[in-house]
Structure formats: structure tokens, C-alpha cells
Amino acid sequence: MTLETIQEASQAIRNQFPDFHPTLGIILGTGLGHLASEVQVLGAIPYDQIPHFPLSTVESHSGKLLLGTLASQSVVCLQGRFHYYEGYSMQQVTFPVRVMHALGIRHLFVSNAAGGLNPAFRTSDLMIIDDHIALFLPESPLRGFNPPEFGPRFPDMSAPYDAVWIQQAKTILNDLGLPPHTGVYTSVQGPQLESKAEYRLLRQLGSDAVGMSTVPEVLVARQMGMRVFACSVITDLCIPETLKEAKLSEILAAAAKAEPHLSQLFKRLIEQMD
């Protein structure tokens, strides 16, 4: 990844939509791509038509970049993201965030499907991410080449998730009659799910949910000064004492059940944006 590859990708998007000036980026996780149906779509670009873009290999990720309007904001929506376990480097996983920034986006919403470690959670609950643990990732996406355009060499991560958006999101969930969960999200390499002993360890470290995404994109976004909101859908319960075998069909069904609530949360937050 170089400045030139980022510029080539962003220019290819601009060439197709020269009068479109997005303000918000949205990354949709496993089983959560239907929020895209809420977007008034100006156009869609398959990832394989964007120079240097990775290709999504996960069956529940459609692999399109949507451009349009959502709740009066001009948005670029990643309908399908990339993961380290697919064989991509951390720089490739986060390449779309660099491209979003090059397009002028300074606000980022991120969603994911996650396993719930907090006993208070139930399947299909939403958890507003207020902090994260990145220590189990193989490397930082900020490792290596770091021109000034990327941001500081040692970006601060004392508050990676926007406090105002977190409070607004809690109020929205209350208004919707949903539990306003907040918590710590731990990102791991995958693709295997964790053992009972690993779930116990993560709980002891203070983690409320675990997944295989989000934190790399957030690290890059924050390095570049983007304002970030992130939310997990709890698609399975990872309580060691009552752990059951995880089934992808059930995980996707739990994500689909939560999708309307996530869509409402995102739309109402976007409506309140400055």
C-alpha cells in the first residue's frame, strides 16, 4: 500500500461520480449488509472494479461499494469488509479506510457480528463499543510505511470511540426499548472460534464481546483523525459455563434479527450529526 495506490483507487471512484462528495463512511459486518437497503443509492461499484481493492471472500459479504444518501448525509458504504484470516495483510484490510479518507470522509460508522462474553447480554442484542483490545492481532495496520498524510506515527488511543455519539446511541436504544449496552470489544485473528479457556481469559481481561474485525479499521481511522462510532451485534453467547457449539446459520439468523434495530440506531445517529 502506497500513497499512489490509495490515490488511484480514490480517483477511480471520483471518475465515476465526479459530483459526489461523501461525508460519512459506513462499514457493515457479517450478516448486516441489509442496512444498505436504507441508502438512496446513487451508484454501486463492485470491489473488483476499484484498483488495488481486496475482494471479499466471506459468503455473507456482498463485495460492493455503495454511494448515496442516508438520513440526508452523503455516504460511502462498504457492503462487505476484509479480514486478516482471509489471507490479507493488515494494510490490505484497512486499505478501504485510507481510500475513504482520500475521498474526503471524516466520520466513520462500523458494525460487526460478535460473540457475547458479558453474561448480561442476549443473542441479537446491540453493544455500543466504548473501548477495545487489540493485543491479540498479529500486527498493527499502522506498522511500516507512514508518510505524513497518514497521520502521526504514534497515534493516541485513549478514546478511540466518540463519546458524544456513544451517549446519543445509548439514548436512542433507550427510546427504542432496547438495552443500552456498552462494552469492550476484543479483536482476534480467527477464523477459528475461541475455546472455553480463551473465553475465560478474555473475560478476565475485561472484554465484553469478541470478533475478528473492526479494530484494525478503527486504528487507521483514528490515526487519520476520523470521528468513529462502532456497534456490535451479539450473534452468539460465549459464556464458558454454558457454551454451545456455534453454527453459522444461527449466527446469521441472529444478525438478521438485529438488523432492523441496528438500522434504526445508525439512521437516528446520522440524523443528529453536526
Rounded mean pLDDT of 138-167? 95
pLDDT value of position 36: 79
Q: Which CATH superfamily is domain 3-271 in?
A: Nucleoside phosphorylase domain (3.40.50.1580)
The predicted-structure confidence for 60-88, as pLDDT tens digits, reads as follows: 446 889 999 988 899 999 988 899 999 99
CB 70 within 8 A of CB 38: yes
Cα gap 121→99, rounded to integer Å? 35
pLDDT value of position 55: 79
Rounded mean pLDDT of 176-199? 95
Rounded mean pLDDT of 7-28? 93
User: Which residue ranges make up each domain of the chain?
Assistant: 3-271
pLDDT value of position 61: 47
- Sign (positive or negative) of CA dihedral 98, 100, 106, 110: negative
Give yes or no for residue 30 having a pLDDT over 80: no
- The amino acid at residue 12 is A
How much of the chain exceeds pLDDT 70, in percent? 96
Picking from 13, 15, 7, the residue whose alpha carbon sits closest to that of residue 25 is: 13
Q: DSSP states of 153-178 as a string?
A: SS---SS-S-HHHHHHHHHHHHHTT-
Cα gap 193→186, rounded to integer Å? 13
Picking from 85, 92, 109, the residue whose alpha carbon sits closest to that of residue 23 is: 109
Rounded mean pLDDT of 43-68? 81
Picking from 269, 262, 273, 271, the residue whose alpha carbon sits closest to that of residue 33 is: 262
Cα gap 246→248, rounded to integer Å? 7
CB 211 within 8 A of CB 114: yes
Extended strands (E) in the chain:
24-28, 40-46, 64-70, 73-79, 107-116, 126-133, 181-187, 209-211, 227-237
End-to-end C-alpha distance for the chain, whole angstroms: 32
The predicted-structure confidence for 208-259, as pLDDT tens digits, reads as follows: 999 999 999 999 999 999 999 999 999 999 998 888 888 888 888 998 899 9
The predicted-structure confidence for 84-109, as pLDDT tens digits, reads as follows: 999 999 999 999 999 999 999 999 99
What does residue 199 show for φ and ψ, rounded to 5 degrees? -60, -40
pLDDT value of position 226: 97
Q: How confident is the model at residue 29 (pLDDT cuts 50, 70, 90)?
A: confident
